[in-house]
């Protein structure tokens, strides 16, 4: 009987381990909080700089496809979606958005249609400019949490 209980306990532990492993594999790994803050800090500095699309001279790190600003925004967008961040967390990481649109506003349908979305679109969209209004990272919220991110590109 004692051997039977040991087998049952072993089987239970194995099952719990497999379930936990599957559950942890379903979610995309999150960046270390310090790494995300460092990325956000670097992005905030680049956000203040004037590039070609915001009235300044062309700057590779600001204006180029896969330039540093673009890469940082891509990484931060993925992190926000993977963590299903709430509104205060997004504000802490990225600051105030450059624009906000709700489902009842005219721009919502246009942004929804023109954006490459990852996740499930929500009724509130925040815009963070990469190259002015030319190209933007959009963050969608459902019930106060990030439910999707996407890029609204001009495709020129």
Distances (CA, A) of 42 to 56, 68, 121: 19, 9, 28
Please give the share of the chain, as a percent, with pLDDT higher than 90.
71
| pLDDT at position 65 | 94
Alpha carbon separation from 37 to 7, 32, 93, 104, 117 (Å, rounded): 47, 9, 7, 33, 24
Average pLDDT, the chain: 83
Q: Residue 17: its pLDDT value, please?
A: 36
Each residue's pLDDT tens digit, 49-108: 999 989 999 999 999 999 999 999 999 999 999 999 999 999 999 999 999 999 999 999
Cut 0.85: pTM above it: no
Residue 113 has pLDDT above 80, yes or no: yes
Question: What count of residues does the chain have?
Answer: 156
Q: Residue 154 has what pLDDT?
A: 84
pLDDT score of 156: 63
Kind plus residue range of the DSSP H or E element containing 126 = strand 124-129
Query: 133 or 89: which carries more pLDDT confidence?
Result: 89
> Confidence band (pLDDT; 50, 70, 90) for 31?
low
């Amino acid at each position: 009987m004692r051997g039977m209980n040991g087998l049952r306990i072993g089987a239970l532990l194995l099952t719990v381990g497999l379930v936990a492993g599957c559950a942890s594999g379903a979610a995309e790994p999150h960046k270390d909080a310090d790494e995300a803050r460092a990325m956000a800090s670097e992005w905030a500095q680049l956000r203040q700089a004037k590039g070609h699309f915001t009235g300044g001279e062309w700057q590779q790190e600001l204006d180029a496809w896969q330039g540093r600003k673009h890469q940082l925004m891509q990484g931060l967008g993925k992190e926000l979606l993977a963590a299903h961040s709430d509104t205060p967390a997004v504000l802490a990481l990225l600051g105030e958005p450059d624009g906000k649109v709700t489902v009842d506003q005219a721009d919502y349908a246009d942004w929804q249609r023109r954006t490459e979305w990852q996740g499930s679109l929500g009724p509130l969209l925040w815009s963070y400019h990469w190259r002015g209004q030319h190209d933007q990272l959009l963050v969608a919220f459902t019930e106060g949490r990030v439910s999707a991110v996407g890029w609204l590109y001009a495709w020129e």
